[in-house]
Amino acid sequence: MGSSSSMTSHCFVVVTLSLLYVTTTYGQLSQNFYAENCPVLERIVQTEVSGALSAEKRMGASLLRLFFHDCFVQGCDGSVLLNDAPDSERDADANANSLRGFDVIDAIKTKVETNCPGVVSCADILALATREAVVELGGPSWTLLLGRRDSTTSSKKLAEDNLPGPSSSLDGLVTAFANKGFTPTELVALSGAHTIGMAKCEFADEGQVRPECNLDSLAMTALDLQTPEVFDNTYYDDLMRNQGLLHSDNVLITDSTLNSLVSTYNSNPALFNADFSAAMNKLSEVGLLTGDEGQIRLNCNKVNVN
């Protein structure tokens, strides 16, 4: 009886400490954080993203890339949106004249501020818009904790130090993702984001022949040869055919274990969707700011002036 009581007390302490850790780490974050103080938030996001994708399907990929480039630097804190200071993330080589979707986030923010002033962070808007864009293009959804705060800083150097590029080696990719807590399996799953969108021909891997690239290296070409406007698993079919556009795509099949995973995702779209969702959920919780750690920017491009 004493042993059972001791075990019960021990379990209670462990559970209590676990809950304390979650509360300390995530503050008051929850999936329904804005249910009472901004119930129209998700409807606004859906309407604006749907309109943007109706005008240009490629915008879905642009929002997904914008979110990735935000989370991979200082965490999912909206720091990539800042442009009111020199040497911001926007100025990094991987971002300058390349990142898109800022106007969509600004449009959402404007409507949200009209309905719920000073309540919703830009970081949460970017996270929600990205998920909505993937779903609109036929992809899976994932769980999002909301209530994060916006960063007051943005660093060009951190962006250049942390973001992998189109010519990254396999070792470089594995290291870059491991530094953010991701496994090689999650690297392959997240690379599936290249099933939508386009890239400049100048970044095409050697030997990748695309007719539109013959005369202009600055021309745009699809990352996914088959269904570039649909979020599916055909990206992996391209890889199996040695037709990945970027060097950072093609190196995934040079490792036997990762090559096997590419083949599995190619033949099992349900597994890819599940693994992509899980990886995106994990990505969305990297480096979150809560409470006094950040602010709710009134303009996503600028830090609030006290």
Instruction: Show binding-site residues.
Output: 70, 73, 75, 77, 79, 89, 164, 194-195, 224, 227, 232
Distance of CA 167 to the CA centre of its chain: 20
Annotated binding residues for heme b, as ranges? 194
CA dihedral (249, 125, 276, 57) in degrees, to 10, reads -60
Structure tokens at 111: 């409507």
- Listed residue (178, 166, 174) closest to 208, CA to CA: 166
Structure tokens at 198: 């386009």
Which SS3 state, helix, strand or coil, does residue 222 take?
A: strand
Other CB atoms within 10 Å distance of the CB of residue 209 = 8
Annotated binding residues for substrate, as ranges? 164
Q: Which of 58, 65, 69, 109 is catalytic?
A: 69
Task: Give me the helices (H) in the chain, please.
Answer: 2-26, 41-55, 58-71, 102-115, 122-136, 156-162, 170-178, 184-191, 234-240, 247-250, 256-267, 269-283
Name the CA radius of gyration of the chain, rounded. 21
Query: Are 222 and 201 within 8 A, CB to CB?
Result: no
10 assigned to active site: no
Structure tokens at 214: 């013959």
Structure tokens at 79: 């720091």
Q: Kind and range of the H or E element at 198?
A: strand 198-200
Annotated binding residues for Ca(2+), as ranges? 70, 73, 75, 77, 79, 89, 195, 224, 227, 232
Residues with a known catalytic role: 69
